[in-house]
């Protein structure tokens, strides 16, 4: 396994679900990104390669939809673990075939295992601890042999974070905990549950088994405008506890998501967010302390390429 070294800036990939749709993979509700795994897995390889070629240094396993919420209970029981394992193998193979420039060392790409919301995105009200633990453990075991680190995605409540922490408590790999934020801009950043980011970060820092020095606190699948306050709030808590952890951010290009949104019943509306516009947000996040930046739903390879070019310009200056 490759070591993840602390860099001034690391580039994460973008939203693989919408990338699959963009390149013509089979894609529909409720299967979402799992449909390509089932029907045409070569598209998953292509999506990963697109982000790697754009400059992503971390790619995320396409296991987000390998849960009953998307597959349905019957298909999940039959195929959920196998699909998550297949997704991890595809990502590992894609990461091992990276580009080589004549005057540069080979590109190193790490693979992040994905632990998605087990019972539905943006819906902390649907969370049930034992069911969640069962699903998360299945996905963890299916991917663990093939990944370099863990990315727990779209965490909507402190209760969800605690369940994920339990599943990851014995992992020796870096663990990234990515919270999804309310899309309402305010003086205090809040999770989809209504709990403050300050309380969420305080809660996970009190669990010695949760946060290790190579772990990180992320924010994802929220509009770019709300990331800034979340990073500020996180930085203040880390400073209070004298902790140095990476902070990550990867926003979506959705229109604001309302409380009670039912992901499988409709495709969330998108907005036209150019790579240049996204880069403006990313620069601000980095200035505030974010060291790992990528994109979530609707953030394409072109956005990641803009981030990678910006990172290269920073390295040239230093």
Q: What is the mean pLDDT of residues 141-147?
A: 98
Model confidence pLDDT, tens digit, residues 179-207: 999 999 999 999 999 999 999 999 988 86
Model confidence pLDDT, tens digit, residues 214-224: 899 999 999 99
> Is the bond preceding residue 30 a cis peptide, omega within 30 degrees?
yes
Q: What is the mean pLDDT of residues 36-44?
A: 98
The label of the residue with tokens 């967010």 reads: 273
pLDDT the model gives residue 272: 85
List the single range of 39-53, 91-105, 140-154, 167-181 with lowest mean pLDDT: 91-105
Q: Which two tokens stand for residue 239?
A: 């400073």
Q: Which two tokens stand for residue 100?
A: 């080589």
Sequence ranges of the domains in the chain:
10-317
Model confidence pLDDT, tens digit, residues 49-73: 999 999 999 999 999 999 999 999 9
Where residue 1 falls among pLDDT bands split at 50, 70, 90?
very low
Q: Is the per-residue pLDDT at 209 higher than 90?
A: no
Residue that wins the pLDDT comparison between 307 and 4 = 307
Share of the chain above pLDDT 70, in %: 89
Q: What is the DSSP string of 225-291?
A: GGHHHHHHHHHHHHHHTT---EEEEEE--BPPPPTT--GGGSPPPB----HHHHHHHHHHHHHHT--
Question: Is 3.40.430.10 the CATH number for 10-317?
Answer: no
Contacts of 277 (CB under 8 A, 6+ apart): none
Q: What is the DSSP string of 119-141?
A: T-TT-GGG--HHHHHHHHHHHHH
297 is in an annotated binding site: yes
221 is in an annotated binding site: yes
pLDDT the model gives residue 213: 78
Which class for 164: exposed (0-12), middle (13-18), buried (19 or more C-beta within 10 A)?
buried
Distance in angstroms (rounded) separating the CA atoms of residues 22 and 306: 18
The label of the residue with tokens 């609707």 reads: 298
Question: What sign has the CA pseudo-torsion 142, 59, 108, 94?
Answer: positive
pLDDT the model gives residue 318: 59
């Amino acid at each position: 396994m490759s070591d993840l070294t602390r860099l001034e800036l690391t580039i994460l990939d973008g939203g693989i679900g919408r990338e699959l749709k963009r390149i013509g993979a089979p894609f529909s509700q409720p299967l979402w990104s799992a449909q390509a795994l089932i029907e045409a897995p070569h598209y998953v390889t292509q999506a990963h390669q697109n982000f790697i070629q754009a400059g992503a240094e971390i790619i995320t396993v396409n296991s987000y939809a390998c849960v009953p919420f998307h597959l349905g209970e019957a298909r999940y029981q039959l195929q959920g673990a196998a699909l998550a394992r297949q997704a991890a193998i595809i990502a590992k193979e894609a990461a091992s075939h990276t580009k080589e420039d004549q005057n540069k060392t080979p590109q190193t790409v790490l693979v992040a295992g994905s632990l998605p919301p087990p019972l539905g995105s943006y819906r902390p009200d649907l969370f049930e601890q034992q069911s969640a633990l069962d699903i998360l453990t299945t996905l963890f075991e299916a991917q663990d042999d093939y990944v370099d680190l863990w990315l727990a995605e779209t965490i909507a409540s402190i209760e969800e974070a605690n369940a994920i922490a339990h599943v990851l408590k014995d992992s020796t790999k870096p663990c990234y905990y990515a919270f999804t934020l309310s899309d309402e801009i305010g003086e205090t950043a809040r999770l989809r549950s209504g709990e403050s980011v300050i309380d969420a970060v305080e809660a996970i820092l009190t669990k010695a088994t949760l946060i290790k020095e190579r772990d990180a606190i992320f924010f994802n699948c929220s509009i770019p405008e709300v990331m800034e306050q979340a990073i500020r709030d996180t930085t203040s808590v880390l400073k209070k506890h004298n902790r140095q952890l990476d902070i990550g951010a990867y926003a979506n290009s959705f229109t604001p998501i309302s409380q009670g949104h039912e992901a499988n019943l409709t495709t969330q509306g998108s907005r036209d967010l150019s790579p240049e516009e996204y880069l403006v947000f990313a620069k601000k996040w980095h200035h505030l302390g974010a060291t790992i930046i990528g994109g979530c739903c609707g953030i394409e390879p072109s956005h990641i390429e803009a981030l990678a070019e910006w990172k290269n310009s920073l390295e040239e200056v230093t």
